[in-house]
């Protein structure tokens, strides 16, 4: 399931990101790639632990915490700290699949994070660069994604995906992974559809008994399927 989450960041937050990233210490993006991915990865990335990464990562996580669409679709148990990348001058990332496990090394411990979902949060508008499309392959075919600044795409981390070469300007984004409370993609999709239906019924002033019954089904399925 691909989920478009609009307006994760507002205009002020985007401006703050752009200011900080304009002076950021970009380095070789292959530093966080696995062996196979490193062969296909050609981009720039902020170092983990640098001041800009930590400041802007906290900003992104605060925005995610208030976004109901993100929570309904991802059902997050653990969010890997957001990272930031930049593509320019023909840089690209060939077809690859994300590592199954990442390690969150914040604090004094190293916490393994199962990457159920991948997220790309676009930080500049499509008109500012040519190319740079995120292409995701799944059982339903190939999907091309290029969103407005502040918008995010969520997709299964098990999907094959790539970033097309950027031939003009630069493409800047935040990216990270989510371990979900519900590991199975089909189950997450059903829970999201239930959540949307419950909200629609509430807005349509449906009988409260019907809304309550469907809400009970949602929570009992979440109770049965959650991996906690």
Q: What's the confidence (pLDDT) of residue 35?
A: 60
pLDDT confidence of 216, banded at 50, 70, 90? very high
Question: What pLDDT is stored for residue 227 in this prediction?
Answer: 75
What pLDDT, in 10s, does the model give residues 119-138? 999 999 999 999 999 999 98
Find where tokens 């629609």 sit: 200
pLDDT for the residue numbered 36: 63
**What is the predicted pLDDT for the residue at 221?**
97
Mean pLDDT of 4-32: 92
- Assigned CATH class of 185-225: few secondary structures
Statement: residue 69 has pLDDT above 90: yes
Q: Tell me the C-alpha distance between 87 and 200, whole Å.
A: 40
What is the model's pLDDT at position 106? Answer: 86
Q: What is the mean pLDDT of the chain?
A: 94
Q: Cα(156)–Cα(137) distance, rounded to whole angstroms?
A: 10
pLDDT at 32: 65
CB 111 within 8 A of CB 104: yes
DSSP secondary structure letters along 94-127: EEE---SEEEE--TTS-EEEE--EEEEEE-S-GG
Average pLDDT over residues 189-201: 95
Contacts of 31 (CB under 8 A, 6+ apart): 45, 47, 48
pLDDT at 38: 66
Least confident of 24-38, 114-128, 155-169, 179-193: 24-38
Where residue 109 falls among pLDDT bands split at 50, 70, 90?
A: confident
3-180 architecture in CATH? Sandwich (2.60)
The domains of the chain are located at: 3-180, 185-225
Which tokens belong to 85? 């990348």
CB atoms within 10 A of CB 94: 15
- Other C-beta atoms closer than 10 Å to the C-beta of 209 total 8
Please choose, from the candidates 85, 33, 22, 84, the residue with its C-alpha nearest in 3D space to the C-alpha of residue 58: 84
For the chain, how far is it from start to end, CA to CA, in angstroms?
A: 22
pLDDT band at 111 (very low <50, low <70, confident <90, very high): very high
What is the rounded CA–CA span in Å between residue 180 and residue 227? 8
Please check the confidence at residue 8 and state whether its pLDDT lies above 80: yes
């Amino acid at each position: 399931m691909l989920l478009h989450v609009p307006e994760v960041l507002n205009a002020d937050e985007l401006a703050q990101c752009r200011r900080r990233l304009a002076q950021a210490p970009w380095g070789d993006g292959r530093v966080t790639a696995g062996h196979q991915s490193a062969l296909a990865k050609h981009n720039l990335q902020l170092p983990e632990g640098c001041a800009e990464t930590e400041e802007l990562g906290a900003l992104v996580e605060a925005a995610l915490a208030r976004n109901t669409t993100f929570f309904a679709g991802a059902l997050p148990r653990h969010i890997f700290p957001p990272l930031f990348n930049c593509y320019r001058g023909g840089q690209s990332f060939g077809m690859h699949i994300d590592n199954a496990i990442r390690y969150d090394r914040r604090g004094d411990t190293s916490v393994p994070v199962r990457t159920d979902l991948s997220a790309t949060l676009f930080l500049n508008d499509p008109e500012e660069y040519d190319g740079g499309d995120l292409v995701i392959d799944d059982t339903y075919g190939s999907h091309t994604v290029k969103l407005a600044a502040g918008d995010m795409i969520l997709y299964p981390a098990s999907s094959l995906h790539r970033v097309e070469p950027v031939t003009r300007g630069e493409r800047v984004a935040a990216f990270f992974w989510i371990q979900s409370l519900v590991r199975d993609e089909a189950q997450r999709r059903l829970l999201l559809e239930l959540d949307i239906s419950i909200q629609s019924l509430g807005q349509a002033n449906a009988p409260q008994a019907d809304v309550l019954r469907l809400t009970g089904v949602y929570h009992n399925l979440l109770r049965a399927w959650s991996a906690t």
